[in-house]
Amino acid sequence: MEITHIDHLGIAVKSIDACLPYYEGVLGVKCYNIEVVEDQKVKTAFFKVGEVKIELLEPTSEDSTIAKFIEKRGEGIHHIAFATPSVGDALEEVSAKGVQLIDKAPRRGAEGMDIAFLHPKSTCGILTELCMEGNK
Ligand code: CO
């Protein structure tokens, strides 16, 4: 399987607005996109840090998986996303190796990227996203 790089780190937060002063004012990394992903009930904010992005995830509803995550574990690292040339091919390959999948097929994530999640039970405890390489 070909992983080219870490695309982004997903961080669950209660409020993106409350985090902007830290990321932009203290770290000096600029937010270049804020977007609501309706079917995930989440608002996302992206920052570019060199080649790696930070994706802040704010729940837009109490039954959002991000709301549940924050309730259970607090704010913090939610997932790590690896870039791969084809999410579909990568899913087939990891599935054949016995990895438990959350998404059986690629779906559309923030920034129109093909993404799919692998279950943390199969990935040493970190919710893992595979995303298409080269989409911004
Ligand atoms: Co992500």
**136: pLDDT confidence band, cut at 50, 70 and 90?**
very low
Dist. CA 17 → ligand 1 center (Å)? 19
**135: pLDDT confidence band, cut at 50, 70 and 90?**
low
More confident residue, 71 or 108: 71
* CATH number of the domain where residue 58 is located: 3.10.180.10
- Say how far apart CA 13 and CA 135 lie, in whole Å: 24
Dist. CA 81 → ligand 1 center (Å)? 6
Q: Give residue 9's domain range.
A: 5-132
Query: Per-residue pLDDT tens for 61-93?
Result: 999 999 999 999 999 999 999 999 999 999 999
Arithmetic mean of pLDDT, 34-41: 91
DSSP conformation letters of 37-50: EGGGTEEEEEEEET
Dist. CA 34 → ligand 1 center (Å)? 13
Q: Are 23 and 11 in contact (CB under 8 A)?
A: no
Per the structure, the count of domains in the chain is: 1
